[in-house]
A and B are shown apart, each in its own frame.
Chain A
C-alpha cells in the first residue's frame, strides 16, 4: 500500500504503473496476464503456421515431415478443377465487390446525410445481414431461389454475396462519413463549385480511402465465403472454398494445405491493405462487430 501523492490523472500511465507494483501476488498476476496475452497470439496464429509449414512438406503424409518442397503448389496449378474454382471465385468476387461497393457507398451517403421516413427501419435492415448467422441467410436465399424458380449458378452466388456485402461496405464508408468535415464542402460551394462538382472534387477524393477499404473488405469476404456460397451455388459453379471443402470431405490431401495457405495469405494481405488505406486516409482503425 503506497501513499499516492500528486499523481497525474493521465489514464494510460496509471494502468501500466499498477502492473509494476511490488507485491508477490501482484507479480504473479502480472506474469499470468502477460502469459495469457502472448499465449493468445500463439493460439491464434498456430493453426495458420501449421498450414503454411505443412504446405511445404515434401512428404505425402500430411503430418510427417519430409523436407521442404514446392511439390504441392505445383500440383495445384496442374489441377484443372482447382483452377476453374479459382476463376469462379475471382469472377464472383470482382463482380459482387463492384456492385456492393457502388450500392454501399450510395446508401452510406444517404444514411449519414439525409433524413427520410422509415430511416430507422432501413438502418436495421442494413445491419441485419451482418448479425444474422451464415446458415440462416444461406438457407433463406436457397429457398428464395427455389420458390422463384431461379436456377442456381454463378449468378445466384453473386446475388447472395452482394446481399451481405452492401452492409459491410456501408459500415466502413459510414464510419468515414461520420467524421467528415462538412465545412470543406461549404468552402467548395462558396468558391463556385455546384453540388456535383463539390462531390467530385472534394467529397469523393476524401471519401476514397473509406470506399477502397470497404471494397477490399468486400472482396475478401466474398473470396472467403463458404456457407452462403455452398447453398446458393449451382453445379459447375464451384468456388475456391467450395472446392477446398469437398476435398476435405473426400480425404485430406496435401494440396489442401497449399491452397489454404495461399488463400489465408491472400486474405490477410488484402485486409491489411484495406486497413492501411483507411488509416493513411486519415481515418481510424475500423472495428466491425
Chain B
C-alpha cells in the first residue's frame, strides 16, 4: 500500500465566529477530526445534519480553511490553497450547473480554465457525456434537463477534469426514491470503473452502507467511528453509532463478573445476560449491551447453547410484508424490539403466538450482542 493516502485530514478543527462577533457564540463545526482516505476507495462521511461532514468536505475542497490542523492531498499539505488550485472537484448538492451555458460548455468549463487545447476539450466532453449516458445532450441547457439528468451532468463536469479526488455533497438528496436507488448503484459502478477516490457525504445511512468501502460516522463535529459497512453495522463502538445505523435495542446494566472474554451483565437487577468483550472490566461497572432486532428470535422454549434466553410476553405484533416486528416485554422496565423474517407466507411466529400470549422466549446468540462502554 502507498505511503501517502489520497486524502489525509490531520487533527482538523474548524470554528465559525458567531454573529457580529459576539464572544462565546462561536460554533465548532469540526472538532479535532482525523481521517485517512485511501486511494481509489469510496469513502463516506455519515451523520445527522450539523455533524460537520459537509464542513469537512468543503475544507478538503478548499472553500473553507481549517482553524487548526492540516489537510493533505496525496501527501501535499493544502494550507490556504484556494479551490481553483487544488486537484479536487466537487459535485454540489444542488448541482450548481451554470444556467447561462450549454451542457457542453458546462462540462468544458474546467478544461477551459486549464487551457486545454480546443480539440482535446471536445473529445473529452464527448467521452464524459457518454460515460454518464447522456451523449448528444451537449447543446441543451440545464433547465431543459430533469433532476436526475442534471445530477449526471454535474458528475460529468467534475470527472472530465480527472481530479485526484472527487467530492460529493449529498448529490442524491433531491431525487425521488427509485431514482436515488438507481443512481446509488450507478455511482458505485462508475467509481470502480474510473478508479478515482470518492469522498461522499450523506445523512442517509442506507445509502452509505450500500455504496461505501468505508464509512466515517460523525456527530457534533467529531468522528465517532471509521470502518467498513460491516464493521460499522455489526460492531458499533458507541451508543450513537449503534443507534444511528439501523435499529438497536439498548440494555443498560451492571457488570457482575467476567470470565475471559465473556462478561455477565445484570440488566434491570434481575436479568443476567452474557456478552462478549475483549477488554477487562471491573465489577460494578455500568455498561450498555446493544442487540439488533433481527438477531433476536422468539421460541417456545429457551434456546440451547451459546444463547441468551429470556421469558417474555408479546406486547405488539406488526406485519410489514417482508418481516414481522414484535415488541416483547422482559420485565417491568425492559422491552425489546424483535424482527423476524417471514420465511413462510404467514408470519412464522403467529403459528405459535399472538399478542398477549406466552410463554415466549426471546433468544439471541451471545456473540450477537455488543458491549458499549459510554
Contact = CB atoms under 8 A, between A and B. Distances in A.
Interface in B89-111: 89-90, 92-94, 96-100, 109-110
Contacts of B317: none
Nearest to B20: A115
B92 A191 contact: no
Interface stretch (A9-17, A99-107, A181-189, A260-268): A181-189
Nearest to A182: B96
A202 B99 CA distance: 9
Given A183-B94, A191-B161, A282 B99 contact: yes
B160 to A, nearest CB: 9
Contacts of B161: 191-192
B92 A183 contact: yes
A194 B110 CA distance: 11
B84 A189 contact: yes
Given A183-B94, A193-B84, A197-B113, 14 more contacts: A183-B93, A186-B90, A187-B97, A189-B62, A189-B63, A189-B84, A190-B62, A190-B84, A190-B88, A191-B161, A192-B84, A192-B161, A194-B84, A206-B100
Given A183-B94, A186-B83, A186-B92, A191 B109 contact: yes
B84 to A, nearest CB: 5
A117 to B, nearest CB: 12
Interface of A: 181, 183-184, 186-194, 197, 201-202, 205-206, 282
11 contacts: A181-B96, A183-B93, A186-B92, A189-B83, A190-B63, A190-B84, A190-B90, A190-B158, A191-B157, A191-B158, A192-B114
Interface in B218-246: none
Interface of B: 61-63, 82-84, 88-90, 92-94, 96-100, 109-110, 113-114, 157-158, 161
Contacts of B63: 186, 189-190
Contacts of B93: 183
A159 B110 CA distance: 44
Name B's interface SS.
loop
A190 B89 contact: yes
A6 B343 CA distance: 45
A186 to B, nearest CB: 6
Contacts of A190: 61-63, 83-84, 88-90, 158
A187 B94 CA distance: 11
A236 B93 CA distance: 61
Contacts of A197: 84, 113
Contacts of A184: 96, 98-99
Given A205-B100, A206-B99, A282-B99, A191 B113 contact: yes
Q: What are the 4 closest A-B residue pairs judged by CB atoms, nearest first?
A: A192-B113, A191-B110, A187-B96, A183-B96
Contacts of B96: 181, 183-184, 186-187
A201 to B, nearest CB: 8
A206 B89 CA distance: 22
